Amino acid sequence: MNLSVGYPGRAHDAHVLANSAVFQRAQAGNLLPDWKKSICGTDVPLVILGDPAYPLLPWLMKPFVDHGGLTAQQKTFNYSLSRARIVVENAFGRLKGRWRCLLKRNDTITEDMPTVISACCVLHNICEVHRDYFNREWLHDMA
């Protein structure tokens, strides 16, 4: 749905997010629908799941920082959040498995790399939507 490319690989994830259209739309309340689900009597809004590198925001959920003093509930929350985020990590794995040019050094002209990455993402999404064949062995070759 949203893609932000063009930052160098050493750019911090939180910096890329803060300078993205996704961030601007989310901050303005125009990214996610006003959808809530009742979980154990609490209305929980639709949010984006992030890792510890991201800021905690009303629309971005991240794990509790673990300095050794987390409660059992906080540990359970972190575990559940991590399991949900695995879906995202798997999606990136499938993307790189399908489009091998994203795995290693790429000799494409630097200025053209955002276009290459964007094209791979768009084509990957088309393949996924149409349930195109995906060879699971492609994931094993990535090591």
Q: 25-68 pLDDT, tens per residue?
A: 999 999 999 899 998 899 989 999 999 989 999 999 999 999 99
Question: Which residue shows structure tokens 């009742």?
Answer: 38
Percent of the chain with pLDDT over 90: 63
Residues 6+ apart with CB under 8 A from 54: 13, 14, 17, 60, 62
Q: How far is CA 38 from CA 15, 41, 123, in A?
A: 33, 6, 36
pTM of the model: 0.77
Give the integer Cα–Cα distance in Å for 32 and 84.
18
- The pLDDT score that the predictor gives to residue 2 is 79
Q: 60-76 pLDDT, tens per residue?
A: 999 999 999 999 999 99
